Amino acid sequence: MCGIVAYLGPRDAVSVLIDGLKRLEYRGYDSAGVAFLNEGSLKVLKKEGRIAALEEQLNSHKWNSRIGIGHTRWATHGRPSDVNAHPHLDCSGKFAVVHNGIIENYGELKASLEKRGHHFVSETDTEVLAHLVEEAYQGDLCAAVRSVLRQVRGSYALAVLSEHEPGKIVAARKDSPLVLGVGKGEFFLASDIPALLPYTREVCLLGDGEVAEISGDGFRVLNGDGVFLTRKTFHVDWDQEAAERGGYPHFMLKEICEQPRALRETLGGRLTPDGARISFEKLGLRPEVLKSFQRIFIVACGTAYHAGLVGKYVLEKLARIPVEVDLASEFRYRNPILDQQTLVLVISQSGETADTLAALREARHRGCQVLAVTNVVGSSVAREADHVIYTWAGPEIAVASTKAYTTQLLVLYMIGLLFAEARETIEPEEAAAIVAHLKVLPEKVEMILEERELIRELADRYSCCKDVFFIGRGLDYAVALEGALKLKEISYIHAEAYAAGELKHGTLALIEKGVPVVALATQEELLEKMVSNIKEVKAREGVIISVCCGEKREVEEASDHLIRIPDVPSFVTPILSVVPLQLLAYYMAAARGCDIDKPRNLAKSVTVE
């Protein structure tokens, strides 16, 4: 949570900071602030609300600054307010700190600082850092920050600016992301790479526990013991356009529409030359290793967890290996039964989700091999896992995850095929047929997107409803869960998903005249049962919006509205059937005038527990 930026160089620092914060606003958006040196003196401006409010305040004055730090906040300690916004200052007002993460021992640190005469103005954990730096400072900002970090417990990405050393920024990270961008005679810090792309493509990733010092002379990186490290930059060739809205009203719609490309790129380059088999170059999991696993644990949060639920069906069906799926926040505290024959598969778009990262560490600590599926190169999850498979979805900016989900599903199908081949649970012809179906999915998604006007009409019609239910069986149930999450997180409509067969065990009591029920009916072998469940809802005067695959007369007859997705085998429908649900959520939220890309109370990357 929270976004950090910093700049040092010849440009107008305030403009660079504001621009960077806007690009990071998805990480948190309840307040924002900047600290910069204006003709040598430290200025701090911060404001509750969106970055636009801060920008307006800054625009009322002409600044002359070449160095500064900035922050966009998602509140953890202390409610959103001007005073709790970052940067935070020490008592002398000479040290400014921005921070993303949580200082776990801030209570005890604050109490002892107060005893020593420090005066606190905010309710945040971060403010202790500013006071600690003030105490530790003896003419070397970098040394002071390192000494402070030895006293704190928790997670942090931080940047410190001081009037005492006007040409320098000191930064550090542990368990929270921070990247350093290197331009010609200028340096940038940001919580993610896309925020740097308009300025530089040369990036240096800071490791856990490392401290960086940037100045007009260059940058240097030290480890916790003060040993200088050799750090090379690497070139990022992401398309900057991909990190911008490109004419779409919202990132979410843009990202929904990018799915055909994202799927093509995720599959492309991972096929054998004859196009019949999956092959992940550089993946260290050889067939004999794959064969040695007796069980798979899929661990993730939110949408990535829902992808994992589909993954369970896929892996169990293709490779006949038992799969358990767990929420990362539960996994880490429930002492799961793990051994060396268990593969732990973590899924995370951002690769920075605190619970997922903690689960990964727990699994490795228990001797398991960890395979990560992530979208962000160089993210913490990617760096700490034993093996990594990237989803090539490109930057996902909207808080609601869309293209990350479908590409995660695709990767899970590919992993299923790898396992199945290694475990000899699939005939080559059957595997080739599945690969052929995966290859045409991007075109099929395009077909659904072309029909999106129909979904918009439906969304407009039901946008005022209070509750929506999603039902499905088998793979459709896993997708229903994702559909309900999409709707509630961006439209604030109460939405719940149920295994259709469970309705009669309680939920049916909630169905009354006019309640919309989205019924996923794409699973051929479960169709009859699903039609019966649809009829149960109809009999209670619920409104049925069905999603089915190709022509299905029995579903059509039982439904009030029908969304048809292209005809594909039931086994691969999730990658298609979720798309109308994403669009439905998007258009319902749009009709209600919601802030779609930045829904209330949420943030894109959840880097706190």
Question: Binding marks (x or -) toward ligand M6R, 279..318, rule CB under 6 A?
Answer: ----------------------xxxx--------------
What's the rounded Cα separation, in Å, for the pair 2 and 8? Answer: 21
Nearer to ligand M6R, 127 or 255 (CB): 255
Nearer to ligand M6R, 400 or 495 (CB): 400
Q: Are 203 and 181 in contact (CB under 8 A)?
A: yes
DSSP state of 500: G
Shortest distance in whole angstroms from residue 589 CB to ligand M6R? 12
What's the rounded Cα separation, in Å, for the pair 8 and 412? Answer: 42
CA distances 554 to 16, 498, 557, Å, are 58, 21, 5
Nearer to ligand M6R, 353 or 407 (CB): 353
Q: Are 328 and 300 in contact (CB under 8 A)?
A: yes
Closest CA to 26 of 352, 365, 362: 352
**Token match 């059957």: residue?**
430
- If one asks whether residue 200 binds ligand M6R (CB under 6 A), the answer comes out as no
Please tell me which residue in 2, 142, 257, 368 is annotated as part of the active site: 2
Shortest distance in whole angstroms from residue 29 CB to ligand M6R? 14
Helices (H), 333-427: 354-365, 380-384, 403-422
- If one asks whether residue 399 binds ligand M6R (CB under 6 A), the answer comes out as yes
Shortest distance in whole angstroms from residue 597 CB to ligand M6R? 11
- If one asks whether residue 370 binds ligand M6R (CB under 6 A), the answer comes out as no
What's the rounded Cα separation, in Å, for the pair 269 and 401? Answer: 24
Q: Which stretch binds ligand M6R (CB under 6 A): 311-319, 399-407, 519-527, 529-537?
A: 399-407
Closest CA to 28 of 152, 172, 159, 191: 191
Q: Which of 84, 215, 348, 406 binds ligand M6R (CB under 6 A)?
A: 348
Q: Are 332 and 358 in contact (CB under 8 A)?
A: yes
Shortest distance in whole angstroms from residue 430 CB to ligand M6R? 31
Total binding residues for ligand M6R by CB under 6 A?
16
Q: Which stretch binds ligand M6R (CB under 6 A): 49-57, 276-284, 396-404, 538-546?
A: 396-404
Q: What are phi and psi of 53, to 5 degrees?
A: -65, -40
Consecutive H or E run containing 156: strand 154-162
Residues 519-558 that bind ligand M6R (CB under 6 A): none
Nearer to ligand M6R, 122 or 350 (CB): 350
Shortest distance in whole angstroms from residue 473 CB to ligand M6R? 23
b/e sequence 80-98, b meaning 16+ C-beta within 10 Å: ebeebbbbbbbbeebbbbb
Q: Which of 65, 350, 546, 573 binds ligand M6R (CB under 6 A)?
A: 350
What's the rounded Cα separation, in Å, for the pair 547 and 535? Answer: 15
- If one asks whether residue 126 binds ligand M6R (CB under 6 A), the answer comes out as no
- If one asks whether residue 194 binds ligand M6R (CB under 6 A), the answer comes out as no
Nearer to ligand M6R, 22 or 598 (CB): 598
Residue of closest CB approach to ligand M6R? 302
- If one asks whether residue 1 binds ligand M6R (CB under 6 A), the answer comes out as no
Q: Are 186 and 11 in contact (CB under 8 A)?
A: yes
Shortest distance in whole angstroms from residue 560 CB to ligand M6R? 27
Nearer to ligand M6R, 401 or 406 (CB): 401
Q: Which of 31, 124, 176, 349 binds ligand M6R (CB under 6 A)?
A: 349
Nearer to ligand M6R, 31 or 605 (CB): 605
- If one asks whether residue 411 binds ligand M6R (CB under 6 A), the answer comes out as no
Shortest distance in whole angstroms from residue 161 CB to ligand M6R? 29
Q: Are 580 and 456 in contact (CB under 8 A)?
A: no
- If one asks whether residue 259 binds ligand M6R (CB under 6 A), the answer comes out as no
CA angle 424, 427, 430 (to 5 degrees): 130
- If one asks whether residue 407 binds ligand M6R (CB under 6 A), the answer comes out as no
Nearer to ligand M6R, 259 or 303 (CB): 303
* Residue 380: burial class (beta carbons within 10 Å; 0-12, 13-18, 19+): buried
Closest CA to 407 of 278, 548, 283, 261: 261
Shortest distance in whole angstroms from residue 199 CB to ligand M6R? 25
What's the rounded Cα separation, in Å, for the pair 142 and 133? Answer: 10
Q: Which of 400, 441, 468, 584 binds ligand M6R (CB under 6 A)?
A: 400
Nearer to ligand M6R, 320 or 494 (CB): 494
What's the rounded Cα separation, in Å, for the pair 484 and 303? Answer: 11
- If one asks whether residue 253 binds ligand M6R (CB under 6 A), the answer comes out as no
Please tell me which residue in 174, 403, 552, 604 is annotated as part of the active site: 604
Q: Are 205 and 177 in contact (CB under 8 A)?
A: no
On the question of a cis peptide bond just before residue 273, with omega within 30 degrees of 0, the verdict is: no
- If one asks whether residue 353 binds ligand M6R (CB under 6 A), the answer comes out as yes
What's the rounded Cα separation, in Å, for the pair 574 and 570? Answer: 8
* Residue 504: burial class (beta carbons within 10 Å; 0-12, 13-18, 19+): exposed
Question: Binding marks (x or -) toward ligand M6R, 567..606, rule CB under 6 A?
Answer: --------------------------------------xx
Nearer to ligand M6R, 222 or 490 (CB): 490
**Token match 């945040």: residue?**
124
On the question of a cis peptide bond just before residue 87, with omega within 30 degrees of 0, the verdict is: yes
Closest CA to 58 of 68, 600, 597: 68
Residues 412-441 that bind ligand M6R (CB under 6 A): none
Q: Which of 72, 162, 356, 391 binds ligand M6R (CB under 6 A)?
A: 356
**Token match 């940047």: residue?**
159
Catalytic residue flag (residue 604): yes
Shortest distance in whole angstroms from residue 164 CB to ligand M6R? 38
What's the rounded Cα separation, in Å, for the pair 131 and 124? Answer: 12
Q: Which of 489, 582, 585, 588 binds ligand M6R (CB under 6 A)?
A: 489
Catalytic positions, written as ranges: 2, 604
**Residues near ligand M6R (CB under 6 A):** 301-304, 348-350, 353, 356, 399-401, 485, 489, 605-606
